[in-house]
């Protein structure tokens, strides 16, 4: 995760886009008939440049202010710091919405490429476009806040005086092996979304209205418009990527279904979809919690990094030093001294902080920091490499103009962090002295299976959330079939199904944060695919000829150069240019993920022999 790009419009955590349409500054809007697209008056290229420059400077200033307030809030939680951070955030978002609406004025002008791209980024960065009618804009903002609030406060109370919040329920979903208990908390959590149903319906109407005022067909089309290609082409592109990986997913699904059937008996059908509550996660989007149920007894990774770190008494700073050394080994400059002075590495004893790991560039220049409650575990070791990936990306594009300081598309930032984490191989651990010798390849299946339960199992869910929303926003799915459409898609793509009856009284999509909180989701699907494409490209640059899952780019300057070439572009060019800089190709390509898991595919095929696949 990372926080506070300059263009705050696209920050995932800030979903409340309070509109403040300044009609005084866009007089033609007043004249436009209701619902009609806003047409530009005779604006000039010089005005466009002046507008973009002013917007860039103001958004930069507001972003830094929001970032400072956000840092204090996350590292010192009090009622006051929360209010101050929310206020600063709101100011930045309001400005962004206003600029987006004003930018339409310069449509169809012939402009220098930089100015044109900045205008495009201003317009396409919105997640929610509120209608210009003040009553409606107030209503849609209120609904958005209400749904997010209901989600945040959501609790399931199995007994009168005993309530479970999402954190409690998440732990039960991960650890419990009692099918009845799992189903109970699954049902309980999904009930929190029922009151959101009428709100969501109204939210769709109003947000679509706002999107149409900006010239988009609907809110879904607005979301798909930020990928440097026509919205419909992007939808097809996503389908194409999924088709490349579907066979691998079907193999994993068949294997896991069989293993869960051994554990839970007839509750798991031999041939149909897997019951959605038995995969160790509320949304069945990450199956790594059932690793111990599905792994064969003879499969283990051959070493335990957590034990090694404990034995070496590696402290939090020491863990981060390993991460930094990875990047300097690629040729990147060391982190600035302020990183070490200002970051939060350990959980303070005297105050509340947000422990969820995140990477920051507070002044959008060189004030890099991470915020994390580090423990000496293998998981945190990997997370540090991931978070520093964000920091080095942020620093690489800091020479670009403010509006270009962001990742090439919204899948790239997370993908870069994960790419680096993919290089944490046994061979890397040997090189940095944490492991004496790398285990032989017979141990690889454990590594690959665990990784597939996380990254491969996620893919169809990463698709479904926005497939559903795109259809809802376009009107293809109407409120009368919200829930059925949700489960049709989940069954079709994920091969999971609810174990109990669901009806149109339920609103199961709302039991996922990103629906209740109106945050686009396809970025996570893209990040999952891109990281393997980046990893393969960099491994090739590093001359690694072995299996991809054993390639680490540690210490390789050639790979570092390629990575840096992509990072430096920021979002100044279409993402196709960025992906070309790293991989030589202008397309996203899921075959790298297939290559990475090729040994696992072979192994799964052997395990699945004579057993049913598909659902
Ligand atoms: Zn991240």
| Residue 545, C-beta contacts closer than 8 angstroms, at least 6 positions apart | none
Mean of pLDDT values over 53-67: 96
Residue 131's Cβ-side half-sphere holds a number of Cα atoms within 13 Å equal to 21
Q: Give how far Cα 140 sits from Cα of 18, 143, 297, 503, 575, Å.
A: 9, 5, 53, 26, 32
For residue 126 the two structure tokens come to 């919105």
* Whether the predicted pLDDT of 25 surpasses 50: no
Q: Find the largest Cα–Cα distance for the chain.
A: 74
Mean of pLDDT values over 574-583: 96
**What are the b/e assignments for 173-191, b being 16+ CB within 10 Å?**
beebeebeebbbbbbbbbe
* Whether the predicted pLDDT of 301 surpasses 50: yes
Rounded to an integer, what distance in angstroms lies between the CA atom of residue 448 and that of residue 2?
A: 27
Q: What is the mean pLDDT of the chain?
A: 90
Helix axes 482-489, 196-213, angle to 10 degrees: 80
Rounded to an integer, what distance in angstroms lies between the CA atom of residue 344 and that of residue 358?
A: 10
Q: What is the pLDDT of residues 448-464, one digit of tens each?
A: 999 999 999 999 999 99
* Whether the predicted pLDDT of 281 surpasses 90: yes
* Å from CA of 215 to ligand 1 middle: 32
- In 288-443, which residue ranges form alpha helices assigned H by DSSP? 291-294, 305-311, 316-329, 337-342, 378-396, 412-422, 426-431
* Whether the predicted pLDDT of 15 surpasses 80: no
Report pLDDT for 78: 87
* Å from CA of 355 to ligand 1 middle: 14
Q: Which of 343, 319, 340, 323 is nearest to 332 (CA)?
A: 323
* Å from CA of 307 to ligand 1 middle: 25
* Whether the predicted pLDDT of 32 surpasses 70: no
* Å from CA of 384 to ligand 1 middle: 10
Confidence of residue 8 (pLDDT cuts 50, 70, 90): very low
User: How would you classify the pairing of strands 274-275 and 368-371?
Assistant: unpaired
Q: What is the pLDDT of residues 236-251, one digit of tens each?
A: 999 999 999 999 999 9
Report pLDDT for 110: 94
Q: Any idea which of 14-28, 177-191, 255-269, 468-482 has the lowest mean pLDDT?
A: 14-28
Rounded to an integer, what distance in angstroms lies between the CA atom of residue 441 and that of residue 425?
A: 12
For residue 318 the two structure tokens come to 């020491």
Confidence of residue 473 (pLDDT cuts 50, 70, 90): very high
Q: Give how far Cα 481 sits from Cα of 67, 505, 565, Å.
A: 41, 10, 47
Report pLDDT for 356: 83
In terms of Cβ atoms closer than 10 Å to its own Cβ (0-12, 13-18, 19+), residue 547 is middle
Report pLDDT for 2: 59
* Å from CA of 521 to ligand 1 middle: 14
Q: Across the strands, what pairs with 164?
A: 156
* Å from CA of 488 to ligand 1 middle: 30
* Å from CA of 120 to ligand 1 middle: 25
Report pLDDT for 1: 61
Report pLDDT for 436: 92
* Å from CA of 591 to ligand 1 middle: 23
Rounded to an integer, what distance in angstroms lies between the CA atom of residue 174 and that of residue 293?
A: 12
Mean of pLDDT values over 10-37: 33
Report pLDDT for 309: 96
Cβ 21 vs Cβ 103: under 8 Å: no
* Å from CA of 13 to ligand 1 middle: 13
Mean of pLDDT values over 388-395: 96
Report pLDDT for 4: 42
Q: Any idea which of 11-20, 32-41, 99-108, 183-192 has the lowest mean pLDDT?
A: 11-20
* Å from CA of 468 to ligand 1 middle: 25
* Å from CA of 524 to ligand 1 middle: 10
Rounded to an integer, what distance in angstroms lies between the CA atom of residue 570 and that of residue 554?
A: 23
Rounded to an integer, what distance in angstroms lies between the CA atom of residue 542 and that of residue 580?
A: 17
23 vs 257, residue with greater confidence: 257
**What are the b/e assignments for 468-493, b being 16+ CB within 10 Å?**
bbbbbbeeebebeebbebbbebbbeb
For residue 602 the two structure tokens come to 């072979």
Active site residues: 356-357, 386-387, 390, 414, 514, 524
* Å from CA of 558 to ligand 1 middle: 24
* Å from CA of 323 to ligand 1 middle: 14
Q: In percent, how much of the chain has pLDDT > 90?
A: 76
* Whether the predicted pLDDT of 609 surpasses 90: yes
Q: What is the pLDDT of residues 254-266, one digit of tens each?
A: 999 999 999 999 9
Q: Which residue shows structure tokens 């240019």?
A: 577
Residues whose Cβ atom is located within 5 A of ion ligand 1: 1, 414, 417
Confidence of residue 22 (pLDDT cuts 50, 70, 90): very low
38: phi > 0 → left, psi -120 to 50 → alpha, else beta; which? beta
User: How would you classify the pairing of strands 162-165 and 274-275?
Assistant: unpaired
* Å from CA of 527 to ligand 1 middle: 10
* Å from CA of 416 to ligand 1 middle: 9
**pTM score of the predicted model:** 0.89
Report pLDDT for 17: 28
Report pLDDT for 5: 42
Report pLDDT for 198: 97
* Whether the predicted pLDDT of 586 surpasses 60: yes
Confidence of residue 41 (pLDDT cuts 50, 70, 90): low
Q: What is the pLDDT of residues 131-168, one digit of tens each?
A: 888 899 889 988 988 898 888 889 999 998 999 998 89
* Å from CA of 3 to ligand 1 middle: 9
* Å from CA of 163 to ligand 1 middle: 31
* Whether the predicted pLDDT of 219 surpasses 90: yes
Q: What is the pLDDT of residues 539-557, one digit of tens each?
A: 999 999 999 999 999 999 9
Cα torsion through 84, 89, 95, 101, rounded to 10: -140
* Å from CA of 2 to ligand 1 middle: 5
Q: What is the pLDDT of residues 328-380, one digit of tens each?
A: 999 999 999 999 999 999 999 998 888 888 999 999 999 999 999 999 999 89
The secondary structure of 32-88 as a DSSP string is: SPTTPPPPP-S--HHHHHHHHHHHHHHHHHHHHHHHHHHHHHHHS--HHHHHHHHHH
Rounded to an integer, what distance in angstroms lies between the CA atom of residue 466 and that of residue 521?
A: 6
* Å from CA of 238 to ligand 1 middle: 21
* Å from CA of 1 to ligand 1 middle: 3
Residue 165, SS3 per DSSP: strand
Q: In percent, how much of the chain has pLDDT > 70?
A: 93
Top mean-pLDDT range of 87-91, 134-138, 395-399: 395-399
């Amino acid at each position: 995760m990372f926080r506070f790009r300059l263009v705050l419009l696209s920050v995932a955590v800030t979903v409340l886009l309070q509109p403040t349409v300044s009609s005084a500054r866009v007089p033609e809007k007043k004249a436009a008939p209701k619902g009609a697209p806003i047409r530009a008056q005779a604006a000039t290229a010089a005005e466009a440049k002046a507008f973009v420059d002013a917007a860039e400077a103001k958004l930069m200033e507001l972003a830094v202010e929001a970032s400072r307030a956000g840092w204090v809030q996350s590292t010192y939680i009090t009622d006051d710091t929360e209010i101050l951070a929310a206020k600063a955030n709101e100011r930045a978002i309001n400005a962004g919405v206003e600029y987006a609406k004003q930018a339409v004025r310069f449509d169809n002008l012939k402009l220098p490429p930089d100015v044109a791209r900045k205008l495009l980024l201003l317009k396409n960065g919105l997640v929610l476009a509120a209608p210009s009618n003040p009553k409606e804009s107030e209503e849609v903002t209120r609904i958005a806040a209400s749904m997010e609030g209901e989600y945040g406060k959501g609790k399931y109370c199995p007994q009168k005086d005993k309530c479970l919040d999402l954190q409690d329920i998440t732990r039960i979903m991960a650890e419990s092996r009692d099918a009845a208990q799992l189903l109970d908390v699954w049902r309980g959590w999904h009930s929190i979304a029922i009151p959101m149903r009428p709100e969501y319906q109204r939210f769709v109407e109003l947000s679509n209205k706002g999107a149409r005022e900006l010239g988009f067909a609907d809110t879904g089309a607005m979301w798909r418009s930020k990928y440097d290609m026509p919205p419909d082409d992007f939808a097809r592109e996503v389908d194409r990527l999924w088709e490349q990986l579907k066979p691998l997913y079907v193999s994993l699904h068949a294997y896991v279904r069989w293993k869960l059937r051994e554990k839970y008996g007839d509750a798991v059908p031999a041939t149909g979809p897997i019951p959605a509550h038995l995969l160790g996660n509320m949304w069945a989007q990450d199956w790594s919690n059932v690793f111990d149920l599905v792994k064969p007894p003879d499969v283990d990774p051959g070493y335990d990094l957590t034990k090694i770190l404990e034995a070496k008494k590696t402290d939090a700073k020491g863990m981060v030093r390993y991460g930094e050394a990875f990047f300097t080994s690629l040729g990147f400059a060391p982190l600035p001294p302020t990183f070490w002075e200002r970051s939060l590495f350990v959980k303070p004893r005297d105050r509340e902080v947000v422990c969820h790991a995140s990477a920051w560039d507070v002044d959008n220049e060189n004030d890099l920091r991470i915020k994390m409650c580090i423990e000496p575990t293998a998981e945190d070791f990997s997370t540090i490499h991931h978070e520093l990936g964000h920091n080095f990306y942020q620093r690489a594009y800091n020479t670009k103009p403010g509006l270009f300081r962001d990742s090439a598309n919204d899948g790239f930032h997370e993908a870069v962090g994960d790419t680096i984490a993919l290089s944490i191989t046994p061979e890397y651990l040997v090189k940095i002295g944490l492991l004496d010798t790398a285990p032989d390849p017979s141990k690889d299946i454990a590594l690959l299976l665990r990784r597939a339960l996380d990254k491969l199992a996620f893919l169809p869910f990463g698709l479904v959330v926005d497939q559903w929303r795109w259809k809802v926003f376009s009107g293809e799915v109407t409120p009368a079939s919200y829930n059925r459409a949700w489960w049709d898609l989940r069954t079709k793509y994920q091969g999971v199904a609810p174990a109990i009856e669901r009806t149109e009284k339920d609103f199961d999509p709302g039991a996922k944060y990103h629906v209740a909180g109106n945050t686009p989701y396809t970025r996570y699907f893209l990040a999952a695919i891109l990281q393997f494409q980046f990893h393969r490209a960099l491994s090739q640059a590093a001359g690694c000829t072995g299996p991809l899952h054993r390639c680490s780019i540690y210490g390789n300057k050639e790979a570092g150069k390629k990575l840096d070439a992509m990072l430096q572009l920021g979002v100044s060019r279409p993402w196709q240019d960025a992906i070309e800089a790293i991989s030589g190709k202008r397309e996203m390509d899921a075959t790298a993920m297939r290559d990475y898991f090729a040994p696992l595919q072979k192994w799964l095929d052997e395990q699945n022999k004579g057993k049913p696949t598909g659902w």
